[in-house]
Chain A
């Protein structure tokens, strides 16, 4: 879901955002997706806990068709972890906080 705690990113700004050597976790979501809503609070928690270590961003797949297409996203929520422009790993579905922490730790 949209969040006032997590910045939104669009197709145009995507490449620059993920190219940083600070790891970047992108939450691909849409307003009609229930599980995207379900993990919203968990993503917000993570943004707080990993502040300064990981950049967490949200991309609305309805408004930004290019990037999800590029990464073959066919289900949401999908969370892709990037470092220096490369995909480190990804998770699809409303998983628990621990699985997301494990994912983030792969880039730290």
Chain B
């Protein structure tokens, strides 16, 4: 008979989920990591990781994902490829429902479902997705060799990927709604020093237009002046929204923005349920703290499991 109950289920296999899997495997906890595709999560969207300690030369997001997975597998990581569509966390054991209708149950749960790129929600954005609108510079930059692209956003992702795009594009225009960038200083310095990048600050994109693909974007500045910019592509890197569709948001007392609050030990409002990584309500969303939270969550799960058996 196929096993369908686990002491600990971990939903998601980004840095938080893989680190939780590593710690669970080493602690010999009866565990299952449910991953919807290949392991890595959003780091697979990152061209280069320069701020994860232990890799002084940096490495690609792709390589880091593979290393994290291989590391956890060395200690017996147990995984299942499936899409979680809902869960019932009001019962004991907790029930996890998969897309094919199968049900799994667990005594404790770590939610590491992560986040995904936010959309601008402007005309043309959906129609031109894949035809000039992109949310992943590392995936799509090589299609813009010697072309002009816009990057929208002022955070680390936007500014770092703008620099990356100049390896291919002849010109990159970074558009940000504020008058200063939010990215870490060293990331900003690199972008400001790059002659291929120009900046349009205090402005927003209002529409994406073209025939078969993106040809131009409409802009409005903070004083209400409208302009048109001819571009061959637009990379939208304005932050993330939580992957929370499968979660009981009321029970978890989710924030209005959909992220899940926890205490310092990653415990949510539901006993035995932890949240780690980008799905957690917090200020900083980086690989390094996602990994740390994954480890913390396993310790919390272990305490919960041990307490139950006393």
**Contact assessment for B134 and A74 in the assembled complex, using a CB-CB cutoff below 8 Å:** yes
Which A residues are CB-close (under 8 A) to B142? Answer: 30, 32, 62
Main secondary structure of the interface of B (DSSP, over half): mixed
Contacts A73-B143, A96-B36, A96-B83 given; does A37 touch B129 at CB 8 Å: no
Contacts A34-B65, A74-B134, A98-B99 given; does A41 touch B143 at CB 8 Å: no
A41 to B161 alpha-carbon distance, docked (Å): 27
The reply on B21 being an interface residue by CB < 8 A is no
The reply on B112 being an interface residue by CB < 8 A is no
Partner of A41, one of B37, B139, B212: B37
A40 to B81 alpha-carbon distance, docked (Å): 11
CB distance from B77 to the nearest CB of A (A): 15
The reply on A54 being an interface residue by CB < 8 A is no
Partner of B99, one of A73, A94, A96: A96
The reply on B45 being an interface residue by CB < 8 A is yes
Partner of B62, one of A34, A74, A90: A34
The total of interchain contacts (Cβ-Cβ below 8 angstroms) comes to 85
Contacts A72-B212, A75-B139, A75-B140 given; does A40 touch B37 at CB 8 Å: yes
A39 to B133 alpha-carbon distance, docked (Å): 20
Contacts A34-B44, A37-B44, A74-B134 given; does A42 touch B139 at CB 8 Å: no
Number of B positions contacting A (CB below 8 A):
31
Which A residues are CB-close (under 8 A) to B99? Answer: 96-98
**Contact assessment for A32 and B62 in the assembled complex, using a CB-CB cutoff below 8 Å:** yes
Which A residues are CB-close (under 8 A) to B134? Answer: 74-75
A-B residue pairs, 7 tightest by C-beta: A34-B44, A92-B130, A38-B37, A75-B130, A75-B140, A38-B38, A33-B139
- The contact sample of 26 A-B pairs, CB cut-off 8 A, is A32-B138, A32-B139, A32-B142, A34-B43, A34-B65, A35-B45, A35-B136, A35-B139, A37-B40, A39-B38, A62-B142, A72-B213, A74-B130, A74-B144, A74-B213, A74-B233, A75-B129, A75-B131, A75-B136, A75-B140, A75-B143, A78-B130, A90-B130, A92-B129, A92-B130, A97-B83
Chain A interface residues toward B at CB < 8 A:
1, 30, 32-42, 45, 62, 72-78, 90, 92-94, 96-98
Q: A33-B138, A35-B44, A38-B37 are in contact. List 13 more A-B contacts (CB 8 A).
A: A1-B38, A32-B62, A32-B142, A34-B40, A37-B38, A37-B44, A42-B37, A74-B131, A75-B130, A78-B130, A93-B129, A93-B130, A94-B37
